[in-house]
Amino acid sequence: MKSEVVPIRMVNEDTFFIEMIDQKELPQNEIWVACKTVEDVADAIRSMVVRGAPAIGIAAAYGVLFAIRDHGKESFDKYARLLGQTRPTAVNLFWAIDRMKTVVEDYEGRDLAGRLKVEADLIFEEDRENNLRMGDQAQSLFTKPSNILTHCNTGGLATGGFGTALGIIRAVHHAGNLKKVWVDETRPYLQGARLTAWECMKDDIPSTLITDNMAGYFMQKGEVDAVIVGTDRVAANGDVANKIGTYSLAVLCKFHNIPFYVAAPVSTIDPNTPTGKEIVIEQRSSEEVTHVSGKSIAPEGVKVSHPAFDVTPGNLVTAIITEDGIFTSPYAF
Ligand code: MRU
């Protein structure tokens, strides 16, 4: 059974718009937020109503459609800038905006908005298809029942459906080769505890939630057979930016001789960024560190640092699993 958790749904009233499930509210509340304008979409990405690199790209594609429909094709640069400033690390955001730009520039018919809707829908559908293919590709890596650890949320919520790293875990489960998934809670934003645990329970995927600092404990006990994570950007040399805490996992895997896999659609590979050093790391608010569920857990006024992502060198990555195949070091994209 394939999961149908998706972050975005269509509303075809007089004027077409989208709704996004508010991922800040999950798992307690399932609230769908209407996004009718490009500004609504930009706000939703910035505030993390929608998150996860592929889902951010899909949302941005609809944002471009709304911008051109409502303000004309001359407004493209202005609104591409607005969308591009929301979250800098996820390359899928820029990839999707560029793909929509090509349509804006090349289309010669009379219904540009209609054509842009087709393109945004395609970006959405293709992402889900790619995730299913990624799940198939990965089967050769999981031929016996395994305990797999994952970080952050890379499931249906973070993509056009099914998921990247969590999609592979789902596929391994469907093939009967998943003992269980260790779900890292993913401090500070808790995407693992709130979103991955929710998706796993919804789909009866055997899962156990742990805090991030327990990963080493279970590796030392021999209870982790592999780690699979997603990524926001793969540099041309195979360095991988992903949710803060990913690099620590890769180093732990190296020490314990555990395979460390990265799952990514080809749209997350950025040949224009030579190495991880050039990847812009988003810095988020200190409040996301000092507060949990709106409650302060640190002394008022304490200095805080909050990089939202880190970079794992390609030589710590056992393989990068894409819809088009499995790549191993030395990487050259
Ligand atoms: O800050 P987030 O929740 O957008 O970060 C998400 C991640 O780090 C994911 O691992 C990545 O975007 C891949 S999602 C398929």
Q: What is the CATH number of the domain that holds 277?
A: 3.40.50.10470
Query: Same domain for 111 and 144?
Result: no
Distance (Å, whole) CA 257 – CA 31: 42
Residue 246: band (very low, low, confident or very high) from pLDDT cuts 50, 70, 90: very high
Residue nearest to atom 10 of ligand 1 (CA): 230
Mean pLDDT of all residues belonging to the chain: 96
Using a 6 Å CB cutoff, which residues line ligand 1?
51-54, 90, 152, 154, 158-159, 164, 191, 229-232, 242-243, 308
Distance (Å, whole) CA 216 – CA 222: 10
Contact (Cβ atoms closer than 8 angstroms) between residue 30 and residue 21: yes
How, if at all, do strands 146-150 and 32-35 pair?
unpaired
Q: What does the pLDDT average to over 264-287?
A: 96
Give the global pTM: 0.97
Beta bridge pairs of residue 304: none
The per-residue pLDDT for 268 is: 96
Q: What is the Å distance from ligand 1's center to 308 Cα? A: 10
Q: Give catalytic residues, as residue numbers.
A: 232
- Domain range for 48: 8-131
- Per-residue pLDDT tens digits for 76-87: 999 999 999 999
Does residue 293 or residue 161 have the better pLDDT?
Answer: 161
Residue the block writes with tokens 């960024």: 273
Domain boundary, last residue among 84, 102, 131: 131
Q: What does the pLDDT average to over 139-158?
A: 97
The per-residue pLDDT for 153 is: 98
Top mutation candidate among 91, 153, 246, 317 for ligand 1, by most atoms within 8 Å of CB: 153
Q: What is the Å distance from ligand 1's center to 109 Cα? A: 37
Task: Say yes or no to pLDDT of 218 above 70.
Answer: yes
The per-residue pLDDT for 1 is: 47
Query: Same domain for 177 and 58?
Result: no
Q: How many CB atoms lie within 10 A of CB 70?
A: 15
Q: How many CB atoms lie within 10 A of CB 289?
A: 17
The per-residue pLDDT for 115 is: 98
Percent of the chain having pLDDT more than 70? 99
Domain boundary, last residue among 70, 96, 131: 131
Distance (Å, whole) CA 165 – CA 172: 11
Q: What is the Å distance from ligand 1's center to 45 Cα? A: 12
